[in-house]
Amino acid sequence: MSYDRRDFLTLAGTALGALWLGADPKALRASLTRARDAREALARGDAPPPFEVLTPEQAADLEAIAARIIPTDDLPGAREARAVNFIDHGLATWAADRRQDLLDGHAAFATAITQRHGATQRFADLSETQQDEFLAVHEDDDFFEDMLFFAVAGTFSYPDWGGNYQGAGWKILGFDDRYIWQPPFGWYDAKQNGGPN
């Protein structure tokens, strides 16, 4: 089992423990190979890879949920980060054992939408206001807790894993992924050392 929501929540109080979940090494190796393939595919073109697990309807809903968790404003959100591709790739690889739970959770969620908004309605079709109202009612459900993890991980994880497309999540934070920096680093050390602010 590579990802356990309860462990994630209970470990979240400790510094390193927050993200330490443990993985099946075989699944990890397979996933790393796919990550490399995905990276090479990205280098060839901008189109997102085809979904490995999700149906178009499931993908549309999960993307819409992620987009309400990290909405788009003047900076990109989970949608631009392609968090849904991270989720899909994860369900095919490192989170394969979570696949059924997540899809079952989504099915129940979709049913609740039809009960509230009509038999032909899907979450992705609702207005943002309706979406937020619905999520606020369901924010303690296991499915939404899972989606919180996946949306955040899909937006801020290293791009090799299928999300954080073109560093979308890093732009939200003001982070720049370089391997070499030089002082001054910030306002305070620049000021102390007389460098440019």
Partner 1 sequence: MARFAPSDPVDFVVVGSGGAGGILAKELSTRGMSVVVLEQGPHVGPLDFHHDEFKHFTLAAYQNQRQLQPQMFKAGPDAEAQPRMAVMYHRMVGGGSMCFTANYRRFRPLDFNERTRLGPIAGTGFADWPIGYDDLEPYYTRAEWELGVSGEPGPFDPPRSRPYPMPPLPVKSSGVLFERGARAIGLHPQPAQMAILSQPFQDRIPCQQCGYCIGFPCEHRAKSATLYTVLPVALASGRCELRTECFVAQVETDDRGRVSGVVYFDSQKVQQRQRAKAVVLCCNGAETPHLLLNSGNNRFPQGLANSSGAVGRHLMFNSNAIVTAQFEHPLNDWKGAMVTRIALDFYDTDPARGFYGGGALDGRFFGYPLVYAMRGAPPGTPKWGAGFKQALRDGYCNQMDVLCEGTSLPLETNRIELDPDLKDAWGLPAMRVTYRDHPDDLATVGFLQTKALALLEAAGATRTWARPPAPQNFGVHLLGTCRMGNDPATSVVDSDHRAHDVPNLFICDGSSLVSSGRGQPTATIQALAFRAGERIAELAKKGQI
User: 51 vs 158, which CB is nearer to partner 1?
Assistant: 158
One of 120, 177, 194, 196 touching partner 1 (CB under 8 A): 177
Burial class (CB in 10 A: 0-12, 13-18, 19+), 7: middle
User: 16 vs 47, which CB is nearer to partner 1?
Assistant: 16
* Number of chain residues interacting with partner 1 (CB under 8 A): 66
- Sequence letter at residue 45: G
User: SS3 helix, strand, coil % of the chain, rounded to 5?
Assistant: 60, 0, 40
Pattern 7-46, binding to partner 1, x per CB under 8 A? Answer: x--xxxxxxxxxxxxxxxx--x--xx--------------
Pattern 81-120, binding to partner 1, x per CB under 8 A? Answer: -------------x--------------------------
One of 45, 50, 56, 183 touching partner 1 (CB under 8 A): 183
Closest CA to 3 of 29, 35, 27: 27
Residues in CB range of 115: below 8 A, 6 or more apart: none
Token representation of residue 68: 């309400």
Buried b (16+ CB within 10 A) or exposed e, 91-104: bbbbbbebeeebbe
Q: Which residues bind partner 1 (CB under 8 A)?
A: 1-3, 7, 10-25, 28, 31-32, 68-71, 73, 75, 77, 94, 132, 135, 139, 148, 151-153, 155-158, 160-161, 169-170, 172-175, 177-183, 185-193
